[in-house]
Amino acid sequence: MSIQIYVDGKFYNKEEAKISVFDHGLLYGDGVFEGTRAYHGRVFQFDEHINRLYDSAKVIALEIPLTKEEMKEAHLATLRRNNLKDAYIRTVVTRGVGDLGLDPRKCPKASVIIIADEITLYPQELYDKGLKVITVPTRRNMPETVNPMIKSLNYLNNIMAKIEANLAGVSEAIMLNQEGYVAECTGDNIFVIKDKTIVTPAASFGALKGITRGVVMKLAAEIGLEVKESALTRYDVYVADECFLTGTAAEVIPVVEVDGRKIADGVPGPYSKKLKEDFHKFAMENGTPIY
């Protein structure tokens, strides 16, 4: 049976779920999105993801035609409709149908799309052996352009960096900000560990305040690591004792090589492995029940 897609209050088979060619989300990337996970019959960090979706919408002056509670119920209904207990949920809110001009006032009502399905971002081998990544020439958007804190449908900045990673034959790319400091990867936050201190770039350096990132910071503090949000340069990454990435889809994945430099001895470090295990345990035991 085809998966069922929520589009503006109704469910459609995957093959029949459509939007208008005049939707400004398609024409201009005018909209926002969110990625959420369900583990073992529970939606993980549900309120945090919904709040971030509405925050992104507020910043671009996009009025979502559902209350937060209605949005949450639509998510749960989508999971139930597809009989899912473990899933990745992609929520898209577009500006809606307008004309061929830019003016968002020509779009009378936003459109809400919810897709729930399985996802595998990286093969298991990379979780076991670690990622090789590179830094790329494409710089992270400045806050004065498309602020990286907004999860907007205009993701071309990240896609261009991902293309550079693909051409180099690696799975992920580190993006620097306009000043040359580490911001984040194309789809994940980045952490380094040095002398029992764990550091991740602050949002002011171009990083999204990832929800998985926040959970991992709390888990790191619980195992005795000093947690800091600070500036990072490539030097700091190259000489780190450990490095790993976090994201809703990726969860926690170790990095073992950056720009041809091995991180420490070139294998996943003990804290990275423990945080990966601790995060998975925490995610399996916490969340909003689906059924």
Q: Among residues 232, 286, 229, which one has the least CA distance to residue 258?
A: 232
Mean pLDDT of the chain: 96
Question: How far apart are alpha carbons 169 and 180 in whole angstroms?
Answer: 23
Look at residues 117, 132, 163 and tell me which one is the last residue of a structural domain. 117
Does residue 10 share a domain with residue 129? no
Contact, 155 vs 142, CB < 8 A?
Answer: no
Give the Cβ contact number of residue 95 at 10 Å.
28
Does residue 44 share a domain with residue 19? yes
How is residue 228 written in tokens?
A: 């800091």
Report the share of the chain in percent with pLDDT over 70: 100
Task: Tell whether the model's pLDDT for residue 101 goes beyond 90.
Answer: yes
pLDDT in tens, 228-275: 999 999 999 999 999 999 999 999 999 999 999 999 999 999 999 999
Task: Tell whether the model's pLDDT for residue 199 goes beyond 90.
Answer: yes
Q: Catalytic amino acids?
A: 151
Report the share of the chain in percent with pLDDT over 90: 94
- 290 in a structural domain: no
Question: How far apart are alpha carbons 49 and 69 in whole angstroms?
Answer: 13
Across 46-84, b (16+ Cβ under 10 Å) vs e yields bebbbebbbebbeebebebebeeeebbebbbbbbeebeb
Q: What does the pLDDT read at residue 29?
A: 97
Q: What does the pLDDT read at residue 120?
A: 79
Does residue 159 share a domain with residue 250? yes
Structure letter (DSSP) for residue 153:
S
| SS3 label, residue 195 | coil
Does residue 149 share a domain with residue 78? no
Does residue 130 share a domain with residue 70? no
For the chain, the distance separating the N- and C-terminal CA atoms, rounded to the nearest angstrom, is 21
Q: What does the pLDDT read at residue 244?
A: 98
Question: How far apart are alpha carbons 254 and 129 in whole angstroms?
Answer: 8
Q: What does the pLDDT read at residue 118?
A: 87
For the chain, what is the domain count? Answer: 2
Model confidence at 124, pLDDT cuts 50, 70, 90, reads very high
pLDDT in tens, 8-56: 999 999 999 999 999 999 999 999 999 999 999 999 999 999 999 999 9
pLDDT in tens, 148-176: 999 999 999 999 999 999 999 999 999 99
Q: Among residues 89, 145, 87, which one has the least CA distance to residue 112?
A: 89
- Residue 13, domain CATH: 3.30.470.10
Q: What does the pLDDT read at residue 213?
A: 97
Does residue 95 share a domain with residue 132? no
Q: What does the pLDDT read at residue 128?
A: 95
Domain that holds residue 248: 124-285
- Residue 165, domain CATH: 3.20.10.10
